[in-house]
Amino acid sequence: MSDMILAVENLHVHYGSIHAVKGISLQVKRGQIVTLIGANGAGKSTTLRAIMNLVRKSSGRVIFDGNDISKLPTHEIVLAGIGLVPEGRRIFPNLTVYENLMMAAYSRTDKEQIVEELQYVFNLFPRLKERVKQLGGTLSGGEQQMLALARGLMSRPKLLMLDEPSLGLAPLLVKEVFEVIQKIREEGVTVLLIEQNALGALKIADYGYVLETGRIVLEDEASKLLVNEGVKKSYLGIA
């Protein structure tokens, strides 16, 4: 088994005449937390969406767990073992916590397996267990983010990709989200994390990539990026 779980090779994505991703190559090692940081519009979300085949790649390849998944439809990519928690949570406000989780178990027909998955996510998110019958829309912002993360885990992914999980949360909840991400990794799930909160992301990550206008301009161990002068100035607000 290779220690590389994901490799993106020379990815290009266009939206009409906009060249949003301009030749991105990145690698994610099994068991690590890898983060993509960069300003608004740098192409972070587009990269994740292209990995899932939610947007068309103009060119480039995606290798997951040793297989070329570049041309697979999204649902087969989920079955292969990649989960995506999109930006903005997108939970169903009029469905209960339980129903929200069951929506994510759509690809499972085995009841025992679904029960096991529910136990797995309730173990990680005990607060959701206390609120199984509550409507998603009545949860606090932090709880909704936990529900979105739990939903992403219901397919038991080997790699979980998170798009700005800390966005719009109060500082205390941001801390909690980063702690949960570390817990998810301890459970053996590899994490690819997009964040505008570069400081929080780099603190928990093993490795990081810095994106600027569709290109990777810097990559290194997260501990080294944290002390990099350019990163400190542009992304950490430290002069």
109 binds ligand ATP (CB under 6 A): no
Quick one: which of 2, 10, 15, 94 contacts ligand ATP (CB under 6 A)?
15
The verdict on 131 binding ligand ATP (CB under 6 A) reads no
Structure tokens at 61: 């390849």
Q: What is the amino acid identity at position 111?
A: K
* Shortest Å, Cβ 237 to ligand ATP: 17
Nearer to ligand ATP, 86 or 142 (CB): 86
Stretch near ligand ATP under the rule CB under 6 A, chosen from 33-41, 102-110, 142-150, 199-207: 33-41
Q: Does residue 18 bind ligand ATP (CB under 6 A)?
A: yes
197 contact partners, CB below 8 Å, separation of at least 6:
166, 174
End-to-end alpha carbon distance in the chain: 43
Residue 20 contacts ligand ATP per CB under 6 A = yes
157 is an interface residue for ligand ATP by CB under 6 A: no
Residues 37-56 binding ligand ATP (CB under 6 A) are 38, 40-46
Contacts 24+ apart (CB under 8 A), 127-132: 128/97, 128/101, 131/97, 132/96, 132/97, 132/98
CA 204 to CA 32: how far, in whole Å? 10
| Total interface residues for ligand ATP by CB under 6 A | 11
Residues binding ligand ATP (CB under 6 A): 15, 18, 20, 38, 40-46
